[in-house]
Chain A
Amino acid sequence: MKLRDFLKGETVPAPVFVAPSFSLSMVGALLASQDVSSAIVMKDGKVGGAVYGYQVIRFLVDASYGSMDRRLHDELPMDSDMIPLAGVPLVSEMDEFETTLGKIAQKRFGDVILISIDDDPVGVLALPLVVRLLSRKGKCKMKLKEVSSPLKLVTGDESILEALNFMMANRFRRVVFKRGSAFYSCTEREFLRAIFSFRGWTSEDERRPGKPPRPDRQILHDG
C-alpha cells in the first residue's frame, strides 16, 4: 500500500522548522506550542536533520553542559554526539507504507518526515497516528500479549529530573505510575509541553514557600 493511500483522509501535522543557531529554550517552546515531538533543522534551504524531543530532554538534564541557564540560552549543540543530524528518515507519500515502517524500525524512533515530490518537508508522521489508522486499515492475527513489553512503573514521588533520567536510561518515551488502582502516564511530549509552557517555568509564584497548593491540586495529591 502506498503511504498516500494509507494517509488518505487524514491530516498529518505540519513540520516545525528550526535553524542550527536556535537555543534549547527556542526549540523547546516550538515543540511545546506545536505539540510535536520533533523539529526539522534547515541548513542552506535544505533538510539538514531533525531535533527530537528526547534529545531536547537529554540536553536539558545533562549538567555537564553547564548551568541550566546556559543550557537554555546557548545554541543547541546540533550536529554533535548529543544531537546528531545525519540519518533523519525522510519518506515520500509515493513510497510504500511498508518502506516507511521499515525506516522507523531501522532508525528505532517513531517519527519520520514526509517530503513532497520536490523534496520539501510537508509533515511529520508519528506512530500514534499510525495506530489510529491501523484500526481502520490494518489486519493482524496476533494477540496483544505477543507484542507487549515489561511494565516499569515509577512511584510518582520521584523528582522530574529523576523521572527524565529514568526515561533516557531506558529509552522510554513516557513514565507510568499508579494513583489508586488506575494507571497514568506522562509522555516525553507532555513533559516538554509542561516545562516549556506558561505554567512551567513561568509559574514559580504558585510554588512560593508558605503558599498552599490550589484546592484542585490538593485533591489530586490525596488521590
Chain B
Amino acid sequence: MKDDPESLLDQTVKFFTMDRASQVPVLDGSRKLEEAWQICGDVPTTAAIVNDDMMATPWDLVIKPFIERKLEFV
C-alpha cells in the first residue's frame, strides 16, 4: 500500500478502467425479453444498451417482469 492511496481515486474512469471495462451489446427495444436473456447472459456485462438511449440491467431483465407478474418458467 502506498503513502497516498487517495490519489488513486483521482484517476479518470477511462484510464482506470481501460483493461477492465467490457463492451455492452446494443439491442433493438422491439426484441423479445427471452432473446435479451440469451444475449445478455452470454456477455460479461449481463446488460444491454437499448435503442441507444435506454439500458437493460439484470434488475430490469429479471425483477421488472417478475413484479409485472409476466415471468413464467419451463
Contacts and interface: CB of A to CB of B under 8 A. Distances in A.
B54 A138 contact: no
A1 B73 contact: yes
Interface string A128-165: 10111111011111111111111100101111110110
A138 B34 CA distance: 7
Contact of A140 (B28, B33, B46): B33
Contacts of A130: 58, 62
Interface stretch (A44-52, A79-87, A113-121, A170-178): A170-178
A160 B5 CA distance: 12
SS class of chain B's interface: helix, strand, loop or mixed? mixed
Nearest to A145: B29
SS class of chain A's interface: helix, strand, loop or mixed? helix
A74 to B, nearest CB: 14
B70 A145 contact: no
Given A157-B14, A186-B20, A137 B74 contact: yes
A151 to B, nearest CB: 4
Contacts of B16: 160, 194
Nearest to B51: A145
A202 B17 contact: no
B60 A185 contact: no
A109 B61 CA distance: 14
A101 B27 CA distance: 25
A7 interface: no
Given A97-B73, A139-B34, A156-B13, A201 B2 contact: yes
Interface in B21-49: 21-24, 26-38, 40-42, 45-49
23 contacts: A104-B63, A105-B63, A127-B61, A128-B41, A128-B58, A132-B41, A132-B46, A137-B73, A140-B33, A142-B65, A144-B31, A147-B56, A148-B29, A148-B55, A158-B12, A160-B12, A173-B57, A175-B13, A176-B55, A183-B24, A184-B22, A190-B21, A204-B2
Interface of A: 1, 6, 25, 61, 67-69, 72, 97-98, 101-102, 104-105, 110, 126-128, 130-135, 137-151, 154, 156-161, 163-164, 173-177, 179, 182-187, 190-191, 193-195, 199-202, 204, 207, 217, 220-221
